[in-house]
Amino acid sequence: MIAFSIIGVLSLVLIYFVLRFQNAQRELILTRTNARVSAKRATNAYRYIMALASEQQHELLSKLESANTSGLIKTTDYQRLQVLFSHFSTIVMFCSEKDATVEEAINSALKKEEINLLDVREVIKNMPNDVRMSWSRNSCESFIAACVAMTRTFTGRAEKSEEKDVQPGS
């Protein structure tokens, strides 16, 4: 009788652990599926960020070139910003992927260039307050804002010079 009761208790314990194992297996499969979906979403998000950063880079370079053609920017500033804007998408992606600061990303991106972070900072010193404030935050969002504000500075200068060229009553 004791043997049968021990066998019965062990059978119940065995059934309990089999059910627990099956539940753990289901949870593992669900977790793997969620991990695959999350990885796919992250990959897509990085792809979209890269596309947007590349488009923004093209826009920044276009506005910078226009400002240079119009003579609204000093040659040294143009050369330094041209190199910085050429690496815009690389800097944004480095910040996004590595969770790095803009300073680290710029140093990494400009390793093989003739200019460095100090040269870029010299250009920033002569920019309006909103550009300097954005730049000083040293985050990816503020870097993007600073670059856009720089191009607005140039286009603002162009708009002001066009307004001076228009004579009232002509």
Q: Write the DSSP string, 1-38.
A: -HHHHHHHHHHHHHHHHHHHHHHHHHHHHHHHHHHHHH
Mean pLDDT score, 62-78: 92
Quote the Cα angle for 130-91-42, to 5°: 110
Query: What's the confidence (pLDDT) of residue 1?
Result: 84
16-68 confidence digits (pLDDT tens): 999 999 999 999 999 999 999 999 999 999 999 999 999 999 999 999 999 99
118-165 confidence digits (pLDDT tens): 999 999 999 999 999 999 999 999 999 999 999 998 877 545 545 554
Query: What's the confidence (pLDDT) of residue 159?
Result: 53
Separation CA 107–CA 44 (nearest Å): 27
Residues contacting residue 131 through CB under 8 Å, at least 6 positions apart: 124, 146, 149, 150, 153
Q: Is the pTM of this model over 0.85?
A: no
